[in-house]
Amino acid sequence: VHSKGAIWRCQILILNIIYLMQNLKSKHYKKNILVIHSNLASSCKQFLINQKQCNHNMNFLIMGPPGAGKGTQAKILAEKYNFMHLSTGDMLRHEIDNKSDIGLEAKNYMNQGFLVPDDVLLSIMENTLTSLKGIGIILDGFPRTIPQAEGLEAIFQKLDLQIDYVINVHVDEDILINRLTNRAKNSGRSDDAEEVIINRQKVYSELTEPLIQFYKDQLLTINGDGTVEEVTQRILEKIQ
Ligand code: ADP
């Protein structure tokens, strides 16, 4: 396996096997998905350790309003530092595509621009993080509320882990709405309709923005207005 693509391939492997297992439609459908998710994450972790391609020491968290470009930057950082990139938005969209119970529940919230309930996210993340213990991760889109952040703290404490950097990608709201409206033309994402975009910004201000205060001692705020490369450069300057 070529080093650059290893983490990415591993993620694809996990998603494919989850998809296959979901098709088995077991009795304990919802529970099994999470268990399978963890088992696969363990195999994936072992694979990365064997390949000596994982970063064992650091955990990043990247946050920012919808449209700030945090997902793009998270992918770049994951590649650069050999982290596992965990995007809760991608994980949930995958569940929706596969029509799993979690996906069916999440869909209604996501399509309207609301957050999926905290207990669903915390359960998914506890399993995933426990299984991935020992390899560096970058969390993208989680936590998104104070209860999620508190839950994450408890999970990390249990696992004897810590968050090393919290990156906050800041972009002014008018620029964000513009970006998202343009993205809507190409993305095909059902949560990119105009009223949903506005609702997502509102939900962000009410529920996610308070995390800036929650993480104030660790927060690295980055200006997200610029090209992808410029923003990456600003992040690297702060963390190196
Ligand atoms: P964006 O950052 O552009 O909103 P994401 O892909 O991160 O895009 O998230 C898309 C949607 O997935 C969110 O609007 C929300 O409905 C759901 N979602 C993702 N992460 C979480 C989370 N941690 N808690 C609750 N809902 C989430």
More confident residue, 4 or 145: 145
In what helix (H) or strand (E) does residue 12 lie, and over which residues does it extend?
A: helix 6-22
Rounding to the nearest 10 degrees, give the CA dihedral for residues 144, 106, 76, 231: -50
pLDDT at residue number 32:
38
Q: Buried (b) or exposed (e) across 187-226, using 16+ Cβ within 10 A?
A: eeeebbbeebbebbbebbeebbeebeebbeeebbebebbe
Predicted pLDDT at 31 = 39
Confidence of residue 18 (pLDDT cuts 50, 70, 90): low
Q: Mean per-residue pLDDT for 123-142?
A: 90
pLDDT at 49 over 80: no
Q: What is the pLDDT of residues 70-101, one digit of tens each?
A: 999 999 999 888 888 999 999 999 889 989 88
Which segments of 61-117 does DSSP mark as H helices, in order?
Answer: 70-81, 88-97, 101-112
Dump pLDDT digits (tens) for 191-203.
Answer: 767 888 888 899 9
Average pLDDT over residues 36-47: 57
Q: Is the pLDDT of residue 6 over 60?
A: yes
CB-defined site of ligand 1, < 6 Å: 66-67, 88-89, 92, 109-110, 113, 115-116, 121, 141-142, 144, 148, 191, 200
Active site residue 189: yes
Cα angle 105, 109, 110 (rounded to 5 degrees) comes to: 105
DSSP string, 175-229: HHHHHHHHHHHHH--TT-SHHHHHHHHHHIIIIITHHHHHTTTTEEEEE--S-HH
Residue 60, pLDDT score: 94
The pLDDT value recorded for residue 152 is: 97
Which one is catalytic: 45, 144, 179, 234? Answer: 144
Q: What is the pLDDT of residues 206-230, one digit of tens each?
A: 999 999 999 999 999 999 999 999 9
Considering 93, 107, 200, 234, which one is annotated as catalytic?
Answer: 200
| Ligand 1 atom at minimal distance to the Cα of residue 88 | 20
Q: Is the pLDDT of residue 35 over 80?
A: no
At 1 the pLDDT is: 39
